[in-house]
Copies of this chain bind each other. A is one copy, B any other.
């Protein structure tokens, strides 16, 4: 054994110093109201004096609660690059720490129901789990059955009663199109994300709703399904320009495709935004550092994380929660 730790104070010492029983110490430290005021003070004083900190393993063993919340990321390539995870995890972690809970990071493929992560979650080693970018609902259905508190980032496919947080994707898309219309654009195309994805779907819905409500003429072939990649942005922008010579705006479901589209437009000898305006989605690092500056729909990613954390805390506490939709904000730069 690596002998090292000078042994920490325990309830026994606090109890002795405060002149109460260990049970009372426990009550005070766990916020039990039915304790005499003087004794509460005495215990707190002793805690202070001894520099006592609760031993989490012992508490976990006795109570069955670990003080750990899992943040689960389905391990695919996007994780390596997308700053989204950093921001949302930051928001989660911040809130959890305020509540003396810790963030356990689980990054692994989730395809199978018997994957290491799936097993781990079923083992009761965390008090709850927050899923980021869930590809399939099967795992969370299983976990929900086992009464593990769950929060999902992004609208789930199923209408099952999962609590989730999400951005107002439709609203953000609507705002983008409205801005384009206000700028006098008439022929506005959209390059969507992978439409298996609910966010992509919602952004398309927002675009379609805006087109209709704002009285844009219905033109066929203005919507192209992309896959979030730069290449998709390039390809679809080229196609759209060919088929619609009067095209004067493209709304893209993320910034990467928007930058691809801009590259294609410039390559074709047209200018942005003079000839064709472009709006992206996410207001990512990319948008902020692009030249010309990319107009984009900002999500409050840290806010999503904080909401998710608050929800999981409520669920762990046994409270009811309702899903949260956070508003988006259009950040106007030079491309639209």
Binding site for B on A (CB under 8 A): 1-2, 4-5, 8, 53, 55-58, 60-61, 64, 66, 68, 71, 75, 79-83, 85-87, 89-90, 93-94, 97, 102-108, 116, 119, 123-125, 146-147, 230, 256, 259-260, 262-263, 266, 284-286, 288-291, 301-302, 318
A61 to chain B, nearest CB (A): 4
Residues of chain B contacted by A116 (CB below 8 angstroms): 97
Known: A86-B86, A123-B53, A291-B262. A93 touches B106 (CB 8 A): yes
Are B259 and A289 in contact, with the CB atoms below 8 A? yes
Residues of chain B contacted by A123 (CB below 8 angstroms): 8, 53
Interface residue from B4, B86, B230 paired with A147 (Cβ < 8 Å)? B4
Are B2 and A318 in contact, with the CB atoms below 8 A? yes
Cα distance A119–B51 in the bound complex, in angstroms: 11
Count of identical protomers in the assembly: 2
Cα distance A107–B80 in the bound complex, in angstroms: 19
Cα distance A107–B291 in the bound complex, in angstroms: 32
Are A57 and B53 in contact, with the CB atoms below 8 A? no
A85 to chain B, nearest CB (A): 5
Cα distance A146–B3 in the bound complex, in angstroms: 11
